[in-house]
Amino acid sequence: MQKKRWYILGCGIILLLVVAIIVIGLVAGLVLARRGGDSSSGNSTTPAPPPTTNSTAALSACGTHPSSIRRQVLTAAMLKGDVYIFARGLDGAIWYRVLSGSSSSTVWKSDWARWIETEDTFAGPPTAVSWTPNGDDRMHVFAPANNGKFNVLGAGYLNGSFPSTWQNLGEPTASAVALCHLPGGWVSSSAGAPDRIDQWVVNRDSRAITHDFWNSAIENFQEPATYVDWEASPSAQASASGLGVVCRRDDPIHTVLMFANGTDSVRFRHYTGSNRFWNPWVDIGGNFIGDPVLLPIGGSSLFYFFGINATGAMQSFYWTDAVGLGYRPPWTYLGGNFSSVPAAVLSTPDPSLRLDAVALGADGKMKHKGFLNQTWDGQWEDLGIEADSAPFLFQYEADAGTGLKVNRTLMAAIGADNQLRVAIWESASTKPWRELVAGDKWAIAGGNLTAKSMCD
Ligand SMILES: *[C@@H]1O[C@H](CO)[C@@H](O)[C@H](O)[C@H]1NC(C)=O
Ligand SMILES: *[C@@H]1O[C@H](CO)[C@@H](O)[C@H](O)[C@H]1NC(C)=O
Ligand SMILES: *[C@@H]1O[C@H](CO)[C@@H](O)[C@H](O)[C@H]1NC(C)=O
Ligand SMILES: *[C@@H]1O[C@H](CO)[C@@H](O)[C@H](O)[C@H]1NC(C)=O
Ligand SMILES: *[C@@H]1O[C@H](CO)[C@@H](O)[C@H](O)[C@H]1NC(C)=O
Ligand SMILES: *[C@@H]1O[C@H](CO)[C@@H](O)[C@H](O)[C@H]1NC(C)=O
Ligand SMILES: *[C@@H]1O[C@H](CO)[C@@H](O)[C@H](O)[C@H]1NC(C)=O
Ligand SMILES: *[C@@H]1O[C@H](CO)[C@@H](O)[C@H](O)[C@H]1NC(C)=O
Ligand SMILES: *[C@@H]1O[C@H](CO)[C@@H](O)[C@H](O)[C@H]1NC(C)=O
C-alpha cells in the first residue's frame, strides 16, 4: 500500500465485515499455503490448512516459548499536559483514555473511546510517542493491523488536529512497533537537523529489523519510502523478539537490541551518526524469553537493559559509551520468578540515581526491586496486587500547580476482569512501592481490554 500523509483523509471505503473476514481469510490462507510449500516438496496446490488460533504466534517474533510470558500491551504519551493511555480492546480496536496530567491522583478527563475508527482490527498492542518539534505538540500511535498482512498502521495528533484515519505504513510486522524520538541537531547533521521520531519493527517475512522515521522538516516519513535491512550477515540477523531501541542526540545516536533467533541471546548494535555507520553486533549471551526492555537515562549515553531469562529470572546490564562501542557489559542477576516482561523507570536522576523495576511474578502478583546508591535491593518486594498483564511504568513531568514542575510515575496493568488499574505518585517518593500502590491508590479504571500480545 502506498504511504500517504496520515492527516489526509483515506479513501474512506468501509468494507462490510463479512467481506473483510473473507479477504483476511483468503490472504491468511495464501500465506499459510506458501509457507507449507516452502517446507514441503513445493506442491503449491496443496490446500491451505484452516487458520488456527495460534497461527499469529507461529509467525511472530515470539521466541521459542511464545505464550509462556506476558508482553507489554500498554502504552502512554503526554499531549498538552495530559496523559493518553492506549491499549487494545477485546474487540481488536485500539482504545484510549485521558488522565489529567496536573492532578496528583487518578483524575480522568475522558471515558474510554476508540482511537480512530477503522475497518481493520489490530493484531498486536499499540505504541505511542509524543514530541514537540518547533513547539508544536504532537503524538503518534502505531499498531500492527489484523489485515492479513500485519501492516503497521499509524495515526497521530499533528498540527492541532486529531487524525481522522489510520495510515497504512505498508511494512508487515512480526512485533509491536518500537519507537524513539531523535532530538533535533543530532551529531552528524548539518545545522538545523530536524527533530524526528524513529520506528522499528521485526519484518514479518525476513525477521530482520526494519526502520523508518517521520521527519518534521518534510512532514512525512523518510522518502523514498524504504525500509533498511542493516544486517550484513543473514545468518545472524533474525530477531526472536520485539525490539529495544534508544535514540540520542550524540553518538551513538541509535542503539537497537533484540533476542537473537536461534540462540535467544542478547544482541545489540549501535549506529554512529557522525560517520553514518552501523557498528558490528555485540552478542553478550544469555537465554531470554519475551521482549527486551531498555531504560535510557535522558541526556546521556547510559541505558539499562532488563529481560526475563529462560528460567524466569530477571537479568540486567547497563551500557555507556565511555567503554566503547564493542564493549560487552557484565550481567547483573536480579533473580525472581516471573511471568511477564519487566518494566523499569528512572525515579531520581543523577547524582542520587534511583531506578525501579517491576514484573508480574509467576504467582500472578506484581513484584518490585529498587536500585539505589549503585546497589539493587536484596529481595523482590511483593506489591500485593494481582494482574493479568505485564506492568506498565510511565514517567511524566507535570505542572504541580504553582508553576512548579514535578515528575510523576504512573503504574498500570490490566486485571483478569479486562479492566485497567492505575496508581500515580511523585517519582522521588521514598515510600515503599507496596504503599504507593496499596488500597484505593491502585484505582480500577474500567475498559474492556486485552492483556494478549501478538504472541498469545
Ligand atoms: C499435490 O497436492 C494434490 C492435492 O492434495 C495431490 O493430489 C497431489 O498428489 C500432490 N502432488 C504432489 C507432487 O505431492
Ligand atoms: C500451535 O502451534 C504449535 C506449533 O506450531 C502446534 O503444535 C499446535 O498444535 C498449535 N495449536 C493450535 C491450537 O493450533
Ligand atoms: C467486552 O468486549 C467483548 C468483545 O468485544 C464483548 O463481547 C463484551 O460485551 C464487552 N464487555 C463490556 C462490559 O463492554
Ligand atoms: C504543520 O504546520 C507547519 C507550520 O505551519 C507546516 O509547515 C507543516 O506542513 C504542517 N504539517 C502538516 C502535516 O500539516
Ligand atoms: C531461526 O532459528 C531457527 C533455529 O535455529 C532456524 O531454523 C530458522 O531458520 C531461523 N530463522 C531465520 C529467519 O533465520
Ligand atoms: C537466570 O538467572 C538466574 C539468576 O537470576 C540464574 O540462576 C539462571 O541460571 C539464569 N537462567 C538462564 C537460562 O540464563
Ligand atoms: C516459578 O514459579 C512456577 C509457578 O509457581 C513454579 O512452577 C516454578 O517451579 C518456579 N520456578 C522457580 C525457579 O522457582
Ligand atoms: C552509599 O554507598 C556508600 C559506599 O558503599 C556508603 O558509604 C554510603 O553510606 C551509602 N549511602 C547510603 C545513603 O546508603
Ligand atoms: C524529570 O525527570 C527528568 C529525567 O530524569 C529530568 O531531566 C527532569 O529534570 C525532571 N524534572 C523535575 C521537575 O524533576
Tens-level pLDDT at each residue, the chain (456 residues): 344 433 333 333 333 333 344 444 443 433 333 322 222 333 333 333 333 344 444 456 888 766 689 999 999 999 999 999 999 999 999 999 999 999 999 999 999 999 998 888 999 999 999 999 989 999 999 999 998 889 999 999 998 999 999 998 888 899 999 999 998 888 765 556 788 999 999 988 888 888 888 888 877 777 544 444 444 444 457 899 999 999 999 899 999 999 999 899 999 999 888 888 888 999 999 999 999 999 999 878 899 999 999 999 999 999 998 888 999 999 999 999 999 999 999 999 988 899 999 999 999 999 999 999 999 999 999 999 999 999 999 999 998 878 899 999 999 999 999 999 999 999 999 999 999 999 889 999 999 999 999 998
Report the nearest-CA residue for atom 13 of ligand 3. Answer: 448
pLDDT at 227: 44
Which of 17, 88, 91 best tests ligand 3's pocket when mutated (most atoms within 8 Å of CB)?
Answer: 91
Tell me the CA–centroid distance for residue 71 and ligand 9, in Å: 28
Report the nearest-CA residue for atom 4 of ligand 1. Answer: 46
* Ligand nearest to the CA of residue 135, numbered in listed order: 4
Report the nearest-CA residue for atom 10 of ligand 7. Answer: 337
Tell me the CA–centroid distance for residue 186 and ligand 4, in Å: 22
pLDDT at 219: 79
CA dist 449 to 97, 263, 285, 401, 455, Å? Answer: 12, 33, 35, 33, 16
First-to-last alpha carbon distance for the chain, in angstroms, is 27
pLDDT at 428: 95
Tell me the CA–centroid distance for residue 54 and ligand 2, in Å: 6
Report the nearest-CA residue for atom 9 of ligand 5. Answer: 262
Number of other CB atoms surrounding residue 197 within 10 Å:
24
pLDDT at 34: 30
* Ligand nearest to the CA of residue 418, numbered in listed order: 3
Partners of 154 in the β-ladder: 142, 167
In the block, residue with C-alpha cell 507489554: 72
3-state secondary structure of 29: helix
- Tell whether the torsion through CA atoms of 33, 39, 44 and 49 is positive or negative: negative
> Cα(386)–Cα(252) distance, rounded to whole angstroms?
39
> In ligand 9, which atom is closest to the CA atom of 404?
13
Question: Residue-wise over 324-346: b if at least 16 C-beta within 10 A, else e?
Answer: ebeeebeeeebebebbbbbbbbb
pLDDT at 65: 66
- Tell whether the torsion through CA atoms of 274, 276, 277 and 282 is positive or negative: positive
Give the type of residue at 248: R
Tell me the CA–centroid distance for residue 61 and ligand 5, in Å: 11
**Using CB atoms within 10 A of its CB, is residue 418 exposed (0-12), middle (13-18) or buried (19+)?**
middle
pLDDT at 188: 64
> Cα(78)–Cα(391) distance, rounded to whole angstroms?
19
Number of other CB atoms surrounding residue 19 within 10 Å:
11
C-alpha count within 13 angstroms, C-beta hemisphere, residue 122? 36
pLDDT at 333: 98
> In ligand 9, which atom is closest to the CA atom of 298?
4
Q: Which domains does the chain have, with CATH numbers?
A: 17-444 (2.120.10.70)
Q: Which residues line ligand 7 (CB under 6 A)?
A: 311-312, 337, 362-363
